[in-house]
Structure 1
Amino acid sequence: MSGLVTIEKTEAQWKHQASIYHREYGISHSVGSLDGTYIQIRNIGDRTNWICRKRYPAINMTIMVDASGLICYVSCRWPGSMHDSTVYRNTDLYRVANRPPPGRWEPFPGAVVLADSAYIGIVGDNLLLAHPRFRRLTAQNARFYQ
């Protein structure tokens, strides 16, 4: 199993993933997609911190997949009540993406990971975020998100 779930790919492998995203979706430099989801659990006692926004006890899982749909990173250790961005800030992926070079995880210069608007406010870690629907888009952003 070692090496199956990993961000340790060569620059050429990451560039291949970016080429798939570009070919399929027209998004350049993207090497993966990041999202949070809930894993429903049985609550023990009256611990409310495990209750998620969908009103059931859960673990909040952060997962990143590449353009081929292979899991590159997963973390599932935080209570369902925690917001996706808070969970992400507590992951090893966040830490390696934000450490100073050398040692920073950077698949290749300019590489980004796609994420939804739950990750707004996280800066400096090469996330490309979906624009929130409730905000007005500038002309430049409107062209980008078409």
Structure 2
Amino acid sequence: MQEETISPEQWAAICEALSALPPNTRRKLIELVLEEAYAVKDVAELMSVSPSAVSRYIHGTLVPGTGALCRLVMNAQPELRDKLLALVAKTTWNLTYNVLKNIAAHDYASTVIEEIADEISRLLETIKEKHSPRKQA
């Protein structure tokens, strides 16, 4: 899997495109990336809540297919929502939708899942670096 560098302009364009997607498509992408990449710990850290709280929320309501995690993301404060959408955009940029779809369909791709988790961890570090000077906004 080839690692690509994404410019701030590309990142903004992808986030804008994701925001313009039909809600069901956007929800599916968010669910695939955040649930299938096992990003519970990273989402919890970004949202300043405990991983177990996020995990309970996902397993209590997302597993039956209600899209609860997506609603959590979409109903978040705008700055947090933008960060989470950027996380989805970055992951989707580096890993094609077909790879994510295969992970959702078959639980064989543990190394791919690890790569996604690593990518998300790197992205969260980037997000923290980019947003920490603007804390007092």
Which TM-score applies when normalising by structure 1?
A: 0.25
Asked which structure has the greater RCO (Cα within 8 Å, sep 6+), the reply is 2
More helix per residue: 1 or 2? 2
Mark the structure with the bigger radius of gyration.
1
